[in-house]
């Protein structure tokens, strides 16, 4: 049986703020003992799946004791890494991490890029993006970076125009042209696939699309290009733990030919190796 702990968003939301303040004193610091298992916080799909492939097929031979904890939100993996209740995390992009550190005063740093999950536009009501009617409602993630990515995706496919230079900081206020008069429903990223019956279309992160049985490579009306994309998902640790031998070993395994083949065989283009 895989040593994987599944933690629900509801429980995390209730305890994250208080635990973040007390975890260092109340819990064993998972990052302090480099002789113990490396505990890694991860989103269930594809991050935990990739980590469990490493755990089941590569870690023992490499001398790595790996424990995977699944989280269903985009906040607690970083707060748990900061307070030491996990030794690393694997769920996010560099722009998201930079924004999170800035807003929360955390000190989490990237170790290695692993894969890209292309952001996609999905719909239960139309089969092509240009079939969206005037006034259509589009759900988009409400966190700063993924909202900006979502709007950049729509702009790249001619559905709107954004101010020059806004990048992943874009918000609906930065739209300069909106020929279809689209309206936007801002939701937590995990909720966007669940909104598809209630909106005309939704921009969904790749991991949540896969969890919802959407196939980004075939089901998305439009999909982020992997070429030159800065939004690779990465292994991250608290600053100062980059040289932990367990972390270095995991970074090597996550960027191995075996993992690249696993990604290619398992996700058929819905997840793309970044190495």
Residue 229 has a pLDDT of: 85
Rounded Cα gap, residues 25 and 17, in angstroms: 15
Of 22-26, 47-51, 69-73, 265-269, least confident by mean pLDDT is: 22-26
Stretch 37-65: mean pLDDT, rounded? 98
Secondary structure letter of residue 1 according to DSSP: -
Q: Take residue 109 and report the two structure tokens written for it.
A: 């740093």
Please answer whether residues 101 and 260 qualify as being in contact, where contact means their C-beta atoms are separated by less than 8 angstroms. Answer: no
Specify the 3-state DSSP secondary structure of 175. strand
Query: Is residue 249 scored above 50 in pLDDT?
Result: yes
The residue count of the chain comes to 275
Please answer whether residues 46 and 117 qualify as being in contact, where contact means their C-beta atoms are separated by less than 8 angstroms. Answer: yes
Query: Is residue 11 scored above 60 in pLDDT?
Result: no
More confident residue, 21 or 272: 272
Phi, then psi, of 84 in degrees rounded to 5: 90, 5
**Other beta carbons within 10 Å of 246:** 25
Query: Is residue 22 scored above 60 in pLDDT?
Result: no
Residue 29 has a pLDDT of: 55
Query: Is residue 228 scored above 50 in pLDDT?
Result: yes
Q: Which fold has domain 120-223?
A: D-Maltodextrin-Binding Protein; domain 2 (3.40.190)
Query: CA of 155: how far to CAs of 17, 65, 121, 128, 142, in Å?
Result: 36, 45, 12, 15, 17
Confidence of residue 225 (pLDDT cuts 50, 70, 90): confident
**CATH superfamily to which 4-118+230-273 belongs:** Periplasmic binding protein-like II (3.40.190.10)
Instruction: Please report how the helices 94-104 and 76-83 are oriented relative to each other, as an axis angle in degrees rounded to 10.
Output: 60
pLDDT cut 70: percent of the chain above it: 88
Rounded Cα gap, residues 10 and 247, in angstroms: 29
pTM of the model: 0.74
Residue 227 has a pLDDT of: 74
Please answer whether residues 111 and 251 qualify as being in contact, where contact means their C-beta atoms are separated by less than 8 angstroms. Answer: yes
pLDDT (tens digit per residue) in 169-213: 999 999 999 999 999 999 999 999 999 999 999 999 998 999 999
Range(s) for CATH 3.40.190.10 in the chain? 4-118+230-273, 120-223
Query: Is residue 27 scored above 60 in pLDDT?
Result: no
Stretch 55-79: mean pLDDT, rounded? 97
Its sign, for the CA torsion 194, 200, 202, 208, is: positive
**Other beta carbons within 10 Å of 134:** 9
């Amino acid at each position: 049986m895989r040593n994987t702990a599944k933690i629900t968003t509801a429980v995390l939301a209730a305890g994250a703020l208080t635990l973040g303040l007390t975890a260092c004193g109340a819990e064993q610091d998972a990052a302090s003992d480099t002789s113990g298992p490396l505990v890694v916080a991860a989103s269930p799909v594809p991050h935990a799946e990739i980590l469990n492939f490493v755990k089941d097929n590569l870690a023992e031979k490499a001398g790595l004791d790996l424990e995977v904890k699944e989280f269903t939100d985009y906040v607690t993996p970083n707060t748990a890494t900061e307070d030491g209740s996990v030794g690393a995390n694997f769920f996010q992009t560099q722009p998201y991490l930079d924004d999170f550190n800035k807003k929360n005063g955390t000190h989490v740093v990237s170790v290695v890029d692993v894969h890209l999950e292309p952001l996609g536009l999905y719909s239960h009501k139309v089969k092509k993006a240009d079939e969206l009617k005037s006034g259509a409602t589009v759900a988009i993630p409400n966190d700063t970076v993924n909202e900006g990515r979502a709007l950049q995706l729509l702009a790249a496919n001619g559905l709107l125009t954004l101010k020059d230079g806004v990048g992943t900081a874009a918000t609906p206020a930065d739209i300069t042209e909106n020929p279809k008069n689209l309206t936007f429903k801002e939701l937590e990223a995990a909720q966007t696939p669940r909104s598809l019956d209630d909106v005309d279309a939704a921009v969904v992160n790749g991991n949540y699309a896969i969890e919802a049985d959407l196939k980004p490579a075939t089901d998305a009306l439009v999909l982020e290009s992997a070429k030159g994309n800065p939004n690779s998902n990465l292994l991250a640790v608290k600053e100062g733990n980059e040289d932990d031998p367990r972390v270095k070993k995991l970074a090597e395994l996550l960027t191995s030919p075996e993992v690249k083949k696993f990604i290619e065989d398992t996700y058929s283009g819905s997840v793309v190796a970044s190495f």
